Structure 1
């Protein structure tokens, strides 16, 4: 019994992981295991029930966290774009541009997957959508099934690392707390602060570099084995796609690629430029997605929608030129005029937003997307509450000190601790969802690693890229399951696995490069801090 009391923290950790692997609901497994071991620890006199008094305070802090508001808004943005077939239009125009060349559909799939990652960040939706749209076309024109499946699975996982990513939002919030704990533990009360914006900036270059690796590999495989990715005849490439094929190449390019790209630049540019916080930028993304959906659904309203966009952009420019705070006692005539003009412009923008809401509501998609966003958000926050209780009990049982002592005893100092952490995340990624890994491991391991000398931004991007790799690893990689559900019966599970293996190697290569060149993740955030 003394052995159990001394190692109750590790028994809690192992038991919780085992229960989740058996398929028990994650949120209730975390909370239930924590309460059971809290009772057991109380009976063995190694845990005080009074420590659970902090639970309501922590839950309230989660529910009132303004940073986490960005998550449901980005989810809403992604679902709107996915529901209105953004990927289908983008894939159509990319097939026209690249399909006549060997391996062109692989390149088109990768480019579209990267754009979808930056506009939706929802891996399941991206993989299934690309599997339904791109895979039949590639198989029809003689593409090798493993080559086609590997490209779809790999590009679908880019939503893990390319911002705005749901992973980076929650990872950033947890890393902020971990960095604060590390600063307090080391006595550095004025240490560097880290936020979601830093993680977005830090993940941008590694994410784009990973896209580049994918493209280089696809061009190489096409060069070595042209029979695995043959070109499509021009007429057939132009005919691919549904009703979008009736539009000219220029019209389709503007609507299918330039408009979503403009939305992505507006969202990320506002964050990286310091104009808006991630939460404010998520609002921009949600409204922009609605306007794009209405633009596609109601051509007769395009003049109003365009006027709304131009008006909003004009107000942003005016804010940089005039002081338009209305609560002041004194203001110049120019400032009064600017406020009046801005009010008129905002009314035009509001009219465009209302029109887009009416259009999407009449189509039946708005309520569907809203309820789906609510369900996904509720699931995530329920898991987060359960993880909060688990972390509190684990620390109360002395788990943090146990982990700290273990990491410090590993050979190699920070290098050994990082190797162990990355290996643990990689293995757990075979069985657990990325949110479960973040909610459980980051609060426990990251404060210790930061104290040992790890840069918090670099550490966060390493974890995000590692979690991305876990989506591709057989036999439990979630991206593989997503594609299996969307692929035709003629494609075997083994072919999907074979196609994913080279991309796992590319992601490990990118992870190793990031480990040895931390500036890939820290350079852009350092520019933002100046």
Structure 2
């Protein structure tokens, strides 16, 4: 008879065997969970009723989770923005601004990667869009090829850390914390990582000035200003629709993703569809009516003008989208975006089902206590736990993507992390800190071989003269910078918690109660006693 304490490590071993054979992760999870579940029933570890919780968990609390609806919304928005031309305009405008300085195209790529990360939340769209636009320019001006490929891949993966990242949404869901707090905790590390990338670029211009030459500016004065505004204003509107509404508490991540999707469609239509005069009047008039009506509604504190304005605005959007649907190129763009979204959403749904089968059986064989006992006894206490977990996740990311790590590994680590990290940063911030650390770490899964998806995306669009060896060697300095960032977030938790330390609610030490005594000229108040029954 197999002892109970052997079951958790046997489940992990079985999962590894299935994946090494070549089965998809979602099917491997489900197979291991079901096989060991029925084995546990026969061994008397739990009864059949315990396994009947799987359908209820899948359909009741997971697939009906509105927060996970943000995944298809952000995926669809990223697929639309990939081909609508926004990245092109932003890169061209930033290239005009920073081009004349050494490494200017590198700075431009890093900044645009950060801004696009605050809009799309998807790596594939960002890497492909920036590589198609920036790589030919860098090659034309003789930029170092390894730096070129590395900065493009790294600037694309920063979207994993910059809110509204899909990784942060999934981690918040799995750790049981609010998405808003997870976003607040990620701002410090994301800004610091951009600073590290820029610092590396600056240092390279000092050591190898010919590797990152300046690029002459072709626009000056008013044309330069209008070019920059044409790239910045649409990005600012989308950032407000997606991120601003979440941070201001006006929308949930799912609602913000829906608004961002509508904004991306409108932007794609405006930028790519040939618009007649009637279309421009209908669309421009609808937006103007919405803005004026919103101002009237806010000033007058009445809801009617506000509702009328947005009714007119959505009517204009529907009219514009209908006109765009008649254009073959835009219709194909939207269809391709739907197809990409359906593929990713289906993959996530299957992973959720498989992870549910695995996690329920794992909990039934007391796997949580096994993981806690295994990790709580590590030498070094909190720091030993964080170092070992991050090394484990780093190597696990060689074979699994972030969805699989988030749905399989994170729920097992969360109870131990809460117990060990709470004395360091407080109970409320413990899992936020832990989630951001994992998010910084999981960036590397897109950058290192053998399954560095950002490198695959880059290879798929790079010219033939770009060697694959340059792409892989070029990623190494940026992976090291990401690992430095992991160390900084581990040993300096204030980078994460500084935005969470602001007091919320009422401070009782600052509450003052003032009672105004009646003056001599005022009669005392009349107190009416309660009626007697």
Alignment TM-score > 0.5, same fold: yes
Is 1:102–1:229's contact at 8 Å kept on the other side of the alignment?
yes
1:317–1:12 Cα change, 3 Å? farther
**Unmatched runs of 5 consecutive residues or more in structure 1:** 177-193, 240-246, 324-337
Matched, 1:158 2:133: no
Using the TM superposition, give the Cα deviation of residue 306 of structure 1 relative to its aligned residue in structure 2, in angstroms: 4.3
Q: CA deviation at 1:47?
A: 4.3
- Is the contact between residue 121 and residue 160 of structure 1 (CA under 8 Å) also seen in structure 2? yes
Q: 1:381 aligns with which of 349, 357, 372?
A: 349
**Could you tell me how far 1:75 is from its partner in structure 2?**
1.5
1:82-101 aligned at under 5 Å gives the runs 82-101=82-101
Q: 1:448 to 1:355 in 2, by over 3 A?
A: same
Tell me the equivalent position of 1:283.
258
Preserved CA contact (<8 Å) 1:202 1:525: yes
Query: Which position in structure 2 is the counterpart of 1:513?
Result: 488
Superposed, 1:351-390 pairs within 5 Å as 351-362=315-326, 363-364=330-331, 365-390=333-358
Cα deviation for residue 311 of structure 1 reads 4.7
* 2:199 alignment partner, one of 216, 224, 229: 216
Please point out which of 214, 221, 225 is paired with 1:231.
214
Matches within 5 A, 1:162-311: 162-176=162-176, 194-235=177-218, 248-298=223-273, 299=275, 300=277, 301-311=279-289
Aligned-residue offset at 1:383:
1.1
Residue 30 of structure 2 is matched in structure 1 by 31
Residues 527, 276 of structure 1: alpha-carbon distance in 2 compared, 3 angstrom cutoff:
farther
**SS of 2:465 mapped into structure 1:** coil
Shift of the 508–102 alpha-carbon distance from structure 1 to 2, 3 Å rule, reads: same
Q: 1:409 aligns with which of 377, 391, 408?
A: 377
d(CA) in 2 for partners of 1:443 and 1:498? 34
Per-residue CA deviation, residues 320-362 of structure 1 (Å, 9 max, x unaligned), is 6666xxxxxxxxxxxxxx3332232122111122134224423
The separation in 2 between residues aligned to 1:439 and 1:92, in whole angstroms, is: 39
Query: What residue is the counterpart of 2:388 in the other structure?
Result: 420
Choose 429-438 or 34-43, whichever is displaced more. Answer: 34-43
1:101 CA displacement:
2.4
Q: 1:134 to 1:422 in 2, by over 3 A?
A: same
Q: Which residue matches 1:342? A: 306
**Match runs of 1:395-474 below 5 Å:** 395-454=363-422, 455-474=430-449
Q: What is the match of residue 59 of structure 1?
A: 58
Structure 1 CA distance for aligned equivalents of residues 160 and 503 of structure 2: 22
**Residue pair 1:291, 1:305 contacting (<8 A) in 2 also:** no
| SS of residue in 2 equivalent to 1:120 | coil
Residue 436 of structure 1: how far off its partner (Å): 0.4
Q: Larger Cα Rg: Structure 1 or Structure 2? A: 2
User: 2:119·2:243 contact (CA, 8 Å) conserved in 1?
Assistant: no
Q: Secondary structure at the match of 1:7?
A: helix
Q: In structure 1, what is the Cα distance between the partners aligned to 2:230 and 2:299?
A: 31
| Structure 1 segment 130-141 matched on structure 2, within 5 A | 130-141=130-141
* CA deviation string 1:355-379 (max 9, x = no partner): 3422442321223322322222122
- Contact residue 444 and residue 482 of structure 2 kept, 8 A: yes
Question: 5+ unaligned residues in a row in structure 2: which ranges?
Answer: 423-429, 506-533
Structure 1: distance between partners of 2:36 and 2:125: 37
Equivalent position of 2:5 in the other structure:
6
Distance 1:394-1:53 versus aligned 2 partners, 3 A rule: same
Report what 1:191 is aligned to.
none
Change (3 A) 1:343 1:32: same
Distance 1:529 1:385 in 2: 38
Question: What is the CA-CA distance between 1:394 and the residue it aligns to?
Answer: 1.2
Contact 2:84 2:267 in 1 (8 A): no
Report the secondary structure of 2:380's partner residue.
coil
Contact 2:376 2:385 survives alignment (8 Å): yes
Q: What is the SS of the residue equivalent to 1:76? A: helix
**In the alignment, which residue of structure 2 is the partner of 1:244?**
none
Deviation per CA, 1:394-421: give whole Å up to 9, x if none.
1112211100111121122222222221
**Aligned counterparts of 2:199 and 2:284: Cα–Cα separation in 1:** 38
1:361, 1:367 within 8 Å by CA — same for their partners in 2? no
Q: How many Å separate the matches in 2 of 1:46 and 1:310?
A: 66
Q: Are the structure 2 counterparts of residues 360 and 451 from structure 1 closer, same or farther at C-alpha, using a change threshold of 3 Å? A: farther
Q: Determine if contact 1:67/1:173 at 8 Å carries over to the other structure.
A: yes
**1:21 touches 1:431 (CA, 8 Å); kept in 2?**
no
Contact kept? 1:295, 1:305, Cα under 8 Å: no
